[in-house]
């Protein structure tokens, strides 16, 4: 029996891009988030294992900027769902599929994006009530071609490929049927560790958004 499902937020669907912020230091985390938002990237996933993650989520959620969705990633336990919800997150993301995490996300009214890779894993995550399934690690599995082949028999399931997604891969993933892509390192780079790289984050964000536009236009 399929569990209750919360649909992906409108910003994720509209922009087709989730920026994944993960770092050893949280010193530049807020600045990186602000740079992404200023550049037009409006769906952010801040991972639980980044220092200061929840305080930044709380601040961004408290600002209540319209057209912005902020979630928490690397959420593997129900108590982490509670922490994300209490901070004001609207969704949680995981590298795996935990029924307990999915149940708690539903109880707290959060979107849930569990990680899965094989067709069997993807189907199970969907049946448990995923808002969309995070196909992870998509790049290592074969990139857009893998997603296209998996989605052929599973075309009713919303998929968000994540893991090794480069800018040049984005159009292919969207044309293969992804509802959005999750971008970590290729987008964020060393922005959380290095001021000079942080200054280049806006340029990378612009390139990623351009790639989304090309993918959706079929170019």
pLDDT tens digits along 16-53: 999 999 999 889 999 999 999 999 999 999 999 999 99
CATH number at residue 189: 3.20.20.70
**Cα 39 versus chain centre, distance:** 17
Q: Is residue 153 within a helix (H) or strand (E), and if so which, with residue range?
A: none
Domain membership of residue 217 (yes or no) is no
Residue 196 placed within a domain: yes
Q: Is residue 76 part of a domain?
A: yes
Domain contains 88: yes
135 CB contacts (<8 Å, ≥6 apart)? 115, 116, 117, 122, 141, 147, 150, 159, 160, 161, 162
What residue numbers bound the domain in which 125 lies?
Answer: 10-212
- The structure's pTM equals 0.95
pLDDT score recorded for residue 86: 98
In a domain, 1, yes or no: no
Q: How many distinct structural domains can be found in the chain?
A: 1
Instruction: Look up residue 162 and give its DSSP letter.
Output: B
Q: Which residues are catalytically annotated?
A: 45, 134
| 4 lies in some domain | no
**Does residue 44 lie within any of the structural domains?**
yes
pLDDT category of residue 3 using cuts at 50, 70 and 90: low
Per the domain annotation, does 89 fall within a domain?
Answer: yes
- 21 forms bridges with which residues in the sheet? 46
User: Which tens digit of pLDDT belongs to each residue from 111-154?
Assistant: 999 999 999 999 999 999 999 999 999 999 999 999 999 999 99
């Amino acid at each position: 029996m399929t569990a209750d499902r919360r649909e992906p937020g409108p910003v994720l669907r509209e922009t087709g891009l989730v920026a994944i912020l993960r770092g050893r230091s949280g010193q530049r985390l807020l600045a990186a988030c602000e740079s992404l938002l200023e550049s037009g990237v409006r769906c952010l996933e801040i991972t639980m294992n980044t220092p200061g993650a929840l305080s930044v989520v709380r601040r961004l959620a408290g600002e209540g900027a319209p057209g912005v969705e902020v979630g928490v990633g690397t959420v593997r336990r129900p108590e982490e769902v509670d922490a994300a919800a209490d901070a004001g997150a609207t969704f949680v993301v995981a590298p795996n599929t935990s029924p307990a995490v999915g149940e708690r996300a539903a109880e707290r009214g959060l979107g849930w994006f569990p990680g899965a890779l094989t067709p069997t894993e993807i189907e199970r995550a969907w049946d448990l009530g995923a808002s969309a399934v995070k196909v992870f690690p998509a790049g290592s599995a074969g990139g857009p071609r893998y997603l296209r082949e998996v989605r052929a028999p599973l075309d009713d399931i919303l998929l968000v490929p994540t893991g090794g997604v480069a800018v040049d891969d984005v159009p292919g993933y969207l044309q293969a049927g992804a509802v959005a892509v999750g971008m970590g390192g290729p987008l964020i780079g060393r922005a959380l560790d290095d001021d000079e790289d942080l200054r280049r984050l806006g340029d990378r964000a612009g390139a990623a958004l351009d790639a989304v536009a090309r993918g959706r236009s079929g170019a």
